[in-house]
Amino acid sequence: MTEDGVVYLTKKKHDELKEKLAYLKGQKRDEIIRRIEISRGFGDLSENAEYDEARNEQRDNEADIIRLEAMLANVKLYDESDLSCDNVQLGNFVTVLCLWNNKSIDYQIVGSAEADPVNHKLSNASPVGSALIGKAVGDVVEVQVPAGVRQYKITDIRLPE
């Protein structure tokens, strides 16, 4: 989520989250209610581990529902078919040369809800992602990261496949 509360998503991710929300509000909620009802039959609720576990799962499920509803209420879809390679935009794949160690890294710039740094999907709100947005091939950006100031040179901008 950005500072203004906007959540940038692809249509695919938006559809996945809507499907997950429907599952949480429907099937999963019903399963939890059944587990609570069954566990009530096991006796004294103060010493009923199954009941406690089901209630905790219910609490977590309701929290997930609230989080997803809030996220989906603030979605702005970005259309990957509108992308160009002139400058870095949300959805582009970017190759950067790390000037401190001379290694190249490929990233995709995505909304924070889709960010997955392990798989090289950087949030547009992250320090590196936000520094790259709007820049072109050949530009060098300086980014303050936990390890200090790092410089990245953009060597390629590509469209999603």
What would the pLDDT profile of 79-90 be if each residue is shown by its tens digit? Answer: 777 788 999 999
What would the pLDDT profile of 51-74 be if each residue is shown by its tens digit? Answer: 889 999 999 999 999 999 999 999
Copy the structure tokens of residue 74. Answer: 């603030």
Q: By the 8 A CB rule, do 128 and 152 touch?
A: yes
**Ordered structural domains, the chain, with CATH:** 7-77 (1.10.287.180), 80-158 (3.10.50.30)
Q: What amino acid occupies position 139?
A: D
Q: By the 8 A CB rule, do 113 and 125 touch?
A: no
For the beta sheet containing 93-98, the strands, ordered from the edge strand earlier in sequence to the opposite edge, are 121-123, 103-110, 93-98, 148-158, 140-145
* 0.75 surpassed by pTM: no
